[in-house]
Structure 1
Amino acid sequence: MSHTIKNKKQLLTRVRRIKGQAEAIEKAIEQAADCSAILQQIAAIRGAVNGLMTEVLEGHIREHLGTDDISPQQRHEDLEQVLTVLRSYLK
């Protein structure tokens, strides 16, 4: 079972909050809101996305790399997958 299914409700709550924040930015831009307010909303979304990424990544590492019941080859493949995602995320 995927760890995202175990925390599905919690993760969906985070995603929906991010969606609401993005919609608020769209509305603010449409209404020509003050730049500082828009920048603050962008910073809030970035924090929310970082929190979501951290939660999913931590679960992935614990479930896929932290167990003793996988082969060294599978562990290596999972590690490479995580590193690829991290490199992409941190660009």
Structure 2
Amino acid sequence: MAHIHEHKDDLIKRVRRIAGQVEAVERALESDADCAKTLHLVAAIRGAVNGLLEQFIDAHAREHVAHPDLSDEDRAQGVEDLLLAIRRYAK
């Protein structure tokens, strides 16, 4: 999974930002913050996670489905892995 290793620092930064956003929701709940403020914080988390997922889907599709050096078997496995992830996300 060299494609993940190449972008490891960026991915870790994104995950840490998401963790910070989750902590902000926790702080908002603990301090009885306004409902609208908390709602916006949760919506921001969803957007951030969607962006992270999009980055992974893109990288996976390019490296494990569309890469010209893949065997048919590897390509089929890449498609199955991608579809499984999408199904889990869609639930």
Shorter-chain-normalised TM-score: which range?
A: over 0.9
Residue 13 of structure 2 aligns with which residue? 13
> What is the aligned partner in structure 2 of residue 36 from structure 1?
36
Q: State the 1:2 CA deviation.
A: 2.7
1:54 maps to 54
- Structure 2: runs of 5+ lacking an equivalent: none
d(CA) in 2 for partners of 1:66 and 1:74? 10
Code of the residue aligned with 1:4 in structure 2: it is I
Which residue number corresponds to residue 69 of structure 1?
A: 69
Matched residue of 1:24: which SS?
helix
The percent of aligned pairs where both chains have the same amino acid is: 46
Q: TM-score, normalised by structure 2?
A: 0.95
Residues in 2 aligned to 1:31 and 1:9: alpha-carbon distance in whole angstroms: 33
3-state SS of the aligned residue for 2:69?
Answer: coil
Aligned residues: 91
| Alignment-derived partner of residue 25 in structure 1 | 25
- Structure 1: state its 5+ residue gaps: none
- Segments of 4+ moved more than 6 angstroms: none
Q: Deviation string for 1:8-59 (max 9, x for gaps)? A: 1111111010000000000000011011000000000000000000011101
- Superposed CA RMSD: 0.9
